[in-house]
Amino acid sequence: MAATSTATFLSFQSQGNALPQTRPSAVRFSPRYSLVSFSGLKEVTSVNCETESSFISKESSTTLRGSFALKARKANRASRYGLQLVASYKVAILGAAGGIGQPLALLIKMSPLVSALNLYDIANVKGVAADLSHCNTPSQVLDFTGASELGDCLKGANVVVIPAGVPRKPGMTRDDLFNINANIVMSLVEAVADNCPDAFIHIISNPVNSTVPIAAEVLKQKGVYNPKKLFGVTTLDVVRANTFVAQKKNLKLIDVDVPVIGGHAGITILPLLSKTKPTVSFTDEEVEQLTVRIQNAGTEVVEAKAGAGSATLSMAYAAARFVESSLRALDGDGDIYECSFVQSDLTDLPFFASRIKLGRNGVEALIPSDLIGLSEYEGKMLEALKPELKASIEKGIAFVQKQPVTA
Protein backbone atom coordinates (compact mmCIF):
# COMPACT_ATOMS: atom_id res chain seq x y z
CA MET A 1 0.00 0.00 0.00
CA ALA A 2 1.43 3.36 -0.95
CA ALA A 3 2.01 5.40 2.14
CA THR A 4 2.10 8.84 0.58
CA SER A 5 0.69 10.50 -2.47
CA THR A 6 2.34 10.91 -5.79
CA ALA A 7 1.94 14.01 -7.86
CA THR A 8 1.58 14.73 -11.53
CA PHE A 9 4.12 17.55 -11.41
CA LEU A 10 6.49 15.57 -13.62
CA SER A 11 9.73 16.28 -15.39
CA PHE A 12 9.39 16.20 -19.16
CA GLN A 13 12.52 15.94 -21.30
CA SER A 14 12.78 17.14 -24.86
CA GLN A 15 15.61 18.28 -27.09
CA GLY A 16 17.14 21.47 -25.81
CA ASN A 17 15.58 21.22 -22.35
CA ALA A 18 17.76 23.33 -20.09
CA LEU A 19 15.92 22.58 -16.88
CA PRO A 20 17.98 20.86 -14.16
CA GLN A 21 17.21 17.18 -14.00
CA THR A 22 17.13 14.79 -11.09
CA ARG A 23 17.95 11.12 -11.50
CA PRO A 24 15.26 9.69 -13.79
CA SER A 25 13.74 6.26 -13.63
CA ALA A 26 14.06 3.80 -16.46
CA VAL A 27 10.43 4.16 -17.52
CA ARG A 28 9.91 5.72 -20.95
CA PHE A 29 7.25 5.80 -23.62
CA SER A 30 8.33 5.46 -27.23
CA PRO A 31 8.07 8.54 -29.50
CA ARG A 32 4.81 7.47 -31.13
CA TYR A 33 3.16 7.35 -27.69
CA SER A 34 4.33 10.83 -26.77
CA LEU A 35 2.57 12.97 -24.24
CA VAL A 36 1.64 16.10 -26.14
CA SER A 37 0.80 19.70 -25.31
CA PHE A 38 1.59 19.54 -21.61
CA SER A 39 1.82 22.98 -20.05
CA GLY A 40 2.22 24.62 -23.43
CA LEU A 41 5.66 23.04 -23.96
CA LYS A 42 6.85 21.41 -27.15
CA GLU A 43 5.77 17.88 -27.91
CA VAL A 44 8.09 15.51 -26.09
CA THR A 45 9.32 12.07 -26.96
CA SER A 46 9.69 10.64 -23.49
CA VAL A 47 8.22 10.81 -20.03
CA ASN A 48 10.45 10.42 -17.00
CA CYS A 49 8.92 9.57 -13.63
CA GLU A 50 11.47 11.32 -11.46
CA THR A 51 12.23 9.21 -8.42
CA GLU A 52 13.63 12.23 -6.61
CA SER A 53 11.17 14.87 -7.69
CA SER A 54 9.46 17.25 -5.32
CA PHE A 55 6.36 15.38 -4.16
CA ILE A 56 7.06 11.78 -5.09
CA SER A 57 8.15 9.15 -2.59
CA LYS A 58 10.16 6.15 -3.74
CA GLU A 59 7.28 3.85 -2.87
CA SER A 60 4.78 5.99 -4.73
CA SER A 61 6.81 6.48 -7.89
CA THR A 62 6.28 2.81 -8.68
CA THR A 63 2.54 3.38 -8.48
CA LEU A 64 2.82 6.44 -10.70
CA ARG A 65 4.80 4.58 -13.37
CA GLY A 66 2.24 1.78 -13.37
CA SER A 67 -0.62 4.26 -13.56
CA PHE A 68 0.85 6.09 -16.53
CA ALA A 69 1.74 2.87 -18.31
CA LEU A 70 -1.89 1.73 -17.96
CA LYS A 71 -3.21 5.07 -19.20
CA ALA A 72 -0.83 4.94 -22.15
CA ARG A 73 -2.14 1.52 -23.20
CA LYS A 74 -5.76 2.67 -22.89
CA ALA A 75 -5.14 5.91 -24.75
CA ASN A 76 -3.34 4.11 -27.57
CA ARG A 77 -6.56 2.33 -28.46
CA ALA A 78 -8.27 5.67 -28.99
CA SER A 79 -5.51 7.84 -30.39
CA ARG A 80 -2.26 7.49 -32.22
CA TYR A 81 -0.73 9.89 -29.68
CA GLY A 82 -1.22 7.56 -26.73
CA LEU A 83 -1.04 9.13 -23.26
CA GLN A 84 -2.60 12.57 -22.86
CA LEU A 85 -3.26 14.46 -19.65
CA VAL A 86 -6.53 16.38 -19.76
CA ALA A 87 -6.92 19.48 -17.64
CA SER A 88 -10.48 19.25 -16.39
CA TYR A 89 -10.78 20.52 -12.80
CA LYS A 90 -11.55 23.93 -11.34
CA VAL A 91 -9.66 25.01 -8.23
CA ALA A 92 -10.54 28.11 -6.21
CA ILE A 93 -8.08 29.69 -3.78
CA LEU A 94 -9.64 31.98 -1.18
CA GLY A 95 -6.94 34.29 0.10
CA ALA A 96 -4.86 34.11 -3.08
CA ALA A 97 -3.05 37.43 -2.64
CA GLY A 98 -1.50 36.46 0.69
CA GLY A 99 1.83 35.00 1.67
CA ILE A 100 0.61 31.42 1.28
CA GLY A 101 -1.91 32.11 -1.46
CA GLN A 102 0.53 33.46 -4.04
CA PRO A 103 3.08 30.63 -4.08
CA LEU A 104 0.24 28.12 -3.72
CA ALA A 105 -1.45 29.57 -6.78
CA LEU A 106 1.79 29.26 -8.75
CA LEU A 107 2.22 25.61 -7.79
CA ILE A 108 -1.38 24.74 -8.62
CA LYS A 109 -1.04 26.60 -11.94
CA MET A 110 1.64 24.02 -12.80
CA SER A 111 -0.73 21.08 -12.47
CA PRO A 112 -1.79 19.50 -15.77
CA LEU A 113 -5.08 18.47 -14.15
CA VAL A 114 -6.31 22.03 -13.58
CA SER A 115 -8.36 23.72 -16.31
CA ALA A 116 -9.51 26.74 -14.31
CA LEU A 117 -7.78 28.50 -11.41
CA ASN A 118 -9.96 31.07 -9.67
CA LEU A 119 -8.21 33.48 -7.31
CA TYR A 120 -10.12 35.39 -4.65
CA ASP A 121 -9.09 37.96 -2.08
CA ILE A 122 -10.38 41.18 -0.61
CA ALA A 123 -7.67 43.21 -2.39
CA ASN A 124 -4.58 43.00 -4.61
CA VAL A 125 -5.59 39.78 -6.36
CA LYS A 126 -5.91 41.24 -9.86
CA GLY A 127 -2.14 41.64 -10.21
CA VAL A 128 -1.49 38.13 -8.93
CA ALA A 129 -3.86 36.71 -11.52
CA ALA A 130 -2.35 38.79 -14.33
CA ASP A 131 1.13 37.64 -13.38
CA LEU A 132 0.16 33.97 -13.22
CA SER A 133 -1.84 34.13 -16.43
CA HIS A 134 1.42 34.60 -18.36
CA CYS A 135 2.60 31.11 -17.36
CA ASN A 136 2.10 28.75 -20.32
CA THR A 137 0.32 26.00 -18.43
CA PRO A 138 -3.19 24.69 -19.22
CA SER A 139 -5.33 26.46 -16.63
CA GLN A 140 -7.14 29.71 -17.23
CA VAL A 141 -6.63 32.16 -14.36
CA LEU A 142 -9.41 34.50 -13.26
CA ASP A 143 -9.44 37.02 -10.41
CA PHE A 144 -12.28 37.89 -8.05
CA THR A 145 -12.16 40.76 -5.55
CA GLY A 146 -14.40 41.32 -2.55
CA ALA A 147 -17.52 39.69 -1.17
CA SER A 148 -19.66 40.66 -4.16
CA GLU A 149 -17.54 38.47 -6.47
CA LEU A 150 -16.98 35.54 -4.11
CA GLY A 151 -19.96 33.54 -5.37
CA ASP A 152 -18.81 33.78 -8.97
CA CYS A 153 -15.36 32.60 -7.93
CA LEU A 154 -16.79 29.47 -6.34
CA LYS A 155 -19.39 28.36 -8.87
CA GLY A 156 -18.45 24.98 -10.31
CA ALA A 157 -15.30 24.56 -8.21
CA ASN A 158 -14.11 20.99 -7.61
CA VAL A 159 -11.58 21.93 -4.94
CA VAL A 160 -11.65 25.01 -2.69
CA VAL A 161 -8.52 25.90 -0.77
CA ILE A 162 -8.76 28.39 2.09
CA PRO A 163 -5.46 29.93 3.24
CA ALA A 164 -7.15 33.26 4.05
CA GLY A 165 -6.48 34.83 7.42
CA VAL A 166 -3.95 36.66 9.52
CA PRO A 167 -0.51 35.02 9.86
CA ARG A 168 1.22 34.51 13.16
CA LYS A 169 3.65 37.14 14.36
CA PRO A 170 6.44 36.80 16.96
CA GLY A 171 4.97 36.10 20.38
CA MET A 172 1.58 35.24 18.94
CA THR A 173 0.17 31.79 19.62
CA ARG A 174 -2.16 29.97 17.25
CA ASP A 175 -4.92 30.65 19.76
CA ASP A 176 -4.34 34.40 19.39
CA LEU A 177 -5.38 34.06 15.78
CA PHE A 178 -8.71 32.53 16.66
CA ASN A 179 -11.15 35.45 16.77
CA ILE A 180 -9.97 37.01 13.50
CA ASN A 181 -9.53 33.85 11.49
CA ALA A 182 -12.66 32.17 12.85
CA ASN A 183 -14.84 34.92 11.39
CA ILE A 184 -12.99 34.79 8.06
CA VAL A 185 -13.35 31.02 7.72
CA MET A 186 -16.99 31.13 8.77
CA SER A 187 -17.94 33.67 6.09
CA LEU A 188 -15.95 31.93 3.36
CA VAL A 189 -17.38 28.49 4.12
CA GLU A 190 -20.89 29.98 4.05
CA ALA A 191 -20.18 31.05 0.48
CA VAL A 192 -18.82 27.60 -0.38
CA ALA A 193 -21.99 26.01 1.00
CA ASP A 194 -24.13 28.30 -1.17
CA ASN A 195 -22.16 27.97 -4.41
CA CYS A 196 -20.25 24.68 -4.56
CA PRO A 197 -21.41 22.42 -1.72
CA ASP A 198 -19.99 19.28 -3.38
CA ALA A 199 -16.44 20.61 -3.61
CA PHE A 200 -13.50 19.26 -1.64
CA ILE A 201 -12.78 21.91 1.00
CA HIS A 202 -9.17 22.31 2.15
CA ILE A 203 -8.78 24.38 5.31
CA ILE A 204 -5.35 25.95 5.85
CA SER A 205 -6.34 28.96 7.97
CA ASN A 206 -5.07 28.57 11.52
CA PRO A 207 -5.84 27.39 14.11
CA VAL A 208 -6.83 24.34 12.03
CA ASN A 209 -7.84 22.44 15.17
CA SER A 210 -10.67 24.96 15.51
CA THR A 211 -11.31 26.21 11.97
CA VAL A 212 -12.15 22.75 10.61
CA PRO A 213 -14.89 22.25 13.27
CA ILE A 214 -16.08 25.78 12.46
CA ALA A 215 -16.39 24.83 8.79
CA ALA A 216 -18.22 21.63 9.71
CA GLU A 217 -20.75 23.50 11.83
CA VAL A 218 -21.38 26.06 9.10
CA LEU A 219 -21.95 23.32 6.54
CA LYS A 220 -24.28 21.49 8.95
CA GLN A 221 -26.36 24.62 9.50
CA LYS A 222 -26.53 25.06 5.73
CA GLY A 223 -27.66 21.44 5.36
CA VAL A 224 -24.79 20.43 3.05
CA TYR A 225 -22.19 18.92 5.37
CA ASN A 226 -20.32 15.97 3.90
CA PRO A 227 -17.57 14.89 6.33
CA LYS A 228 -15.79 13.03 3.54
CA LYS A 229 -15.08 16.28 1.71
CA LEU A 230 -13.83 18.53 4.52
CA PHE A 231 -10.10 18.45 5.19
CA GLY A 232 -7.74 20.22 7.54
CA VAL A 233 -4.45 20.46 5.67
CA THR A 234 -1.79 19.02 8.00
CA THR A 235 0.53 17.94 5.19
CA LEU A 236 3.17 20.43 6.33
CA ASP A 237 3.67 18.41 9.52
CA VAL A 238 4.41 15.33 7.41
CA VAL A 239 6.71 17.28 5.09
CA ARG A 240 8.65 18.62 8.06
CA ALA A 241 8.83 15.25 9.78
CA ASN A 242 10.16 13.61 6.62
CA THR A 243 12.73 16.36 6.15
CA PHE A 244 14.00 16.44 9.72
CA VAL A 245 14.25 12.65 10.00
CA ALA A 246 16.10 12.39 6.70
CA GLN A 247 18.55 15.05 7.85
CA LYS A 248 19.02 13.47 11.26
CA LYS A 249 19.61 9.96 9.94
CA ASN A 250 21.37 10.91 6.70
CA LEU A 251 18.69 9.24 4.59
CA LYS A 252 17.56 10.02 1.08
CA LEU A 253 14.51 12.22 1.50
CA ILE A 254 12.72 10.34 -1.26
CA ASP A 255 12.79 7.21 0.91
CA VAL A 256 11.38 8.71 4.11
CA ASP A 257 7.75 8.65 5.22
CA VAL A 258 6.66 9.59 8.75
CA PRO A 259 2.94 9.56 9.56
CA VAL A 260 1.81 12.47 11.75
CA ILE A 261 -1.38 12.22 13.78
CA GLY A 262 -3.41 14.29 16.24
CA GLY A 263 -3.91 17.93 15.31
CA HIS A 264 -2.04 20.85 13.80
CA ALA A 265 -0.71 22.91 16.68
CA GLY A 266 1.95 22.44 19.34
CA ILE A 267 1.69 19.25 21.36
CA THR A 268 -1.33 18.08 19.34
CA ILE A 269 1.12 17.35 16.48
CA LEU A 270 2.39 13.81 17.06
CA PRO A 271 4.91 12.37 14.59
CA LEU A 272 4.94 8.59 14.81
CA LEU A 273 8.67 8.05 14.54
CA SER A 274 8.26 4.38 15.40
CA LYS A 275 6.31 4.03 12.13
CA THR A 276 8.98 5.68 9.99
CA LYS A 277 9.65 4.12 6.62
CA PRO A 278 12.27 2.89 5.99
CA THR A 279 12.62 1.34 9.44
CA VAL A 280 15.17 3.29 11.44
CA SER A 281 16.11 3.26 15.12
CA PHE A 282 16.05 6.34 17.34
CA THR A 283 17.42 6.88 20.81
CA ASP A 284 14.99 8.22 23.40
CA GLU A 285 16.78 11.54 23.18
CA GLU A 286 16.45 11.66 19.40
CA VAL A 287 12.74 10.87 19.59
CA GLU A 288 12.12 13.71 22.02
CA GLN A 289 14.28 16.19 20.11
CA LEU A 290 12.69 15.40 16.75
CA THR A 291 9.16 15.43 18.16
CA VAL A 292 9.64 18.82 19.80
CA ARG A 293 11.24 20.28 16.66
CA ILE A 294 8.40 19.07 14.44
CA GLN A 295 5.83 20.44 16.89
CA ASN A 296 7.55 23.83 17.08
CA ALA A 297 8.70 24.13 13.46
CA GLY A 298 6.20 26.88 12.76
CA THR A 299 7.62 28.98 15.59
CA GLU A 300 11.11 28.28 14.22
CA VAL A 301 10.11 30.00 10.97
CA VAL A 302 8.24 32.87 12.67
CA GLU A 303 11.30 33.68 14.77
CA ALA A 304 13.68 33.36 11.82
CA LYS A 305 11.59 35.83 9.81
CA ALA A 306 11.74 38.24 12.75
CA GLY A 307 8.34 39.81 12.30
CA ALA A 308 8.25 39.53 8.51
CA GLY A 309 5.85 36.60 8.39
CA SER A 310 5.30 32.94 9.14
CA ALA A 311 5.74 29.67 7.22
CA THR A 312 4.38 30.57 3.80
CA LEU A 313 6.56 28.82 1.22
CA SER A 314 6.69 25.44 2.96
CA MET A 315 2.96 25.68 3.69
CA ALA A 316 2.24 26.46 0.04
CA TYR A 317 4.34 23.48 -1.03
CA ALA A 318 2.55 21.16 1.40
CA ALA A 319 -0.89 22.48 0.42
CA ALA A 320 -0.09 22.04 -3.27
CA ARG A 321 0.83 18.43 -2.58
CA PHE A 322 -2.54 17.87 -0.90
CA VAL A 323 -4.40 19.62 -3.73
CA GLU A 324 -2.60 17.45 -6.26
CA SER A 325 -3.52 14.34 -4.27
CA SER A 326 -7.17 15.43 -4.25
CA LEU A 327 -7.17 16.07 -7.99
CA ARG A 328 -5.64 12.70 -8.70
CA ALA A 329 -8.24 11.05 -6.47
CA LEU A 330 -11.01 12.91 -8.31
CA ASP A 331 -9.44 11.74 -11.55
CA GLY A 332 -9.81 8.11 -10.48
CA ASP A 333 -6.40 7.20 -9.09
CA GLY A 334 -7.14 4.50 -6.53
CA ASP A 335 -3.89 4.65 -4.58
CA ILE A 336 -3.84 8.04 -2.86
CA TYR A 337 -2.94 8.29 0.82
CA GLU A 338 -2.31 11.44 2.86
CA CYS A 339 -2.50 12.56 6.47
CA SER A 340 -5.29 15.05 7.16
CA PHE A 341 -7.38 16.46 10.01
CA VAL A 342 -10.87 15.10 9.35
CA GLN A 343 -14.01 13.89 11.10
CA SER A 344 -12.86 10.65 12.64
CA ASP A 345 -13.84 7.76 14.90
CA LEU A 346 -10.30 6.47 15.43
CA THR A 347 -10.26 8.05 18.89
CA ASP A 348 -12.87 9.50 21.23
CA LEU A 349 -12.39 12.91 19.57
CA PRO A 350 -14.76 14.01 16.78
CA PHE A 351 -11.88 15.25 14.59
CA PHE A 352 -8.42 13.77 14.35
CA ALA A 353 -5.47 13.87 11.98
CA SER A 354 -4.37 10.52 10.62
CA ARG A 355 -3.55 8.82 7.37
CA ILE A 356 -6.56 8.59 5.06
CA LYS A 357 -7.29 7.09 1.68
CA LEU A 358 -8.64 9.57 -0.86
CA GLY A 359 -11.09 8.76 -3.63
CA ARG A 360 -13.53 10.43 -5.99
CA ASN A 361 -15.96 11.06 -3.12
CA GLY A 362 -13.37 12.32 -0.66
CA VAL A 363 -12.28 10.25 2.32
CA GLU A 364 -12.67 6.62 1.29
CA ALA A 365 -11.18 5.20 4.47
CA LEU A 366 -9.41 6.12 7.67
CA ILE A 367 -6.23 4.08 8.18
CA PRO A 368 -6.20 2.83 11.78
CA SER A 369 -3.03 0.74 11.55
CA ASP A 370 -0.75 3.66 12.40
CA LEU A 371 -2.36 3.89 15.84
CA ILE A 372 -1.67 0.23 16.60
CA GLY A 373 1.58 -0.71 18.30
CA LEU A 374 2.68 2.77 19.30
CA SER A 375 5.83 3.15 21.36
CA GLU A 376 5.45 3.93 25.05
CA TYR A 377 6.47 7.54 24.41
CA GLU A 378 3.96 7.94 21.58
CA GLY A 379 1.19 6.39 23.65
CA LYS A 380 1.81 8.88 26.44
CA MET A 381 1.99 11.80 24.01
CA LEU A 382 -1.27 10.72 22.37
CA GLU A 383 -3.08 10.78 25.69
CA ALA A 384 -1.46 14.11 26.58
CA LEU A 385 -2.60 15.84 23.40
CA LYS A 386 -6.23 14.81 23.63
CA PRO A 387 -7.42 17.39 26.22
CA GLU A 388 -5.91 20.29 24.28
CA LEU A 389 -7.24 19.07 20.96
CA LYS A 390 -10.67 18.45 22.47
CA ALA A 391 -10.77 22.01 23.83
CA SER A 392 -9.79 23.48 20.45
CA ILE A 393 -12.47 21.48 18.65
CA GLU A 394 -15.13 22.50 21.16
CA LYS A 395 -14.05 26.13 20.89
CA GLY A 396 -14.65 26.07 17.15
CA ILE A 397 -18.05 24.41 17.48
CA ALA A 398 -19.14 26.86 20.19
CA PHE A 399 -18.08 29.83 18.06
CA VAL A 400 -20.57 28.95 15.32
CA GLN A 401 -23.34 27.92 17.68
CA LYS A 402 -23.18 31.30 19.38
CA GLN A 403 -23.65 33.13 16.08
CA PRO A 404 -25.63 30.93 13.70
CA VAL A 405 -25.07 31.33 10.00
CA THR A 406 -27.69 32.74 7.66
CA ALA A 407 -29.95 30.11 6.14
Strands 336-343 and 114-121: unpaired
Burial (CB count within 10 angstroms: exposed 0-12, middle 13-18, buried 19+), residue 377: middle
> Phi/psi of residue 55, each to 5°?
-105, -10
d(CA 372, CA 341): 18
Closest CA to 91 of 361, 348, 319, 248: 319
Distances, alpha carbon 238 to alpha carbons 80, 250, 264, 373, in Å: 41, 18, 11, 20
> Phi/psi of residue 171, each to 5°?
85, -10
Please give the angle made by the CA atoms of 299, 304 and 305, to the nearest 5 degrees. Answer: 100
* Selected catalytic residue, list 174, 240, 264, 328: 264
Contact residues for 373 (Cβ-Cβ < 8 A; gap 6+): 274
Eight-state DSSP code of residue 54? S
Catalytic (active site) residue 202:
no
Question: What stretch of H or E contains 92?
Answer: strand 89-94
| Residues 342 and 231 sit within 8 Å (Cβ to Cβ) | yes
Helix then strand then coil, % of the chain, to nearest 5 = 45, 15, 40
Active site residues: 264
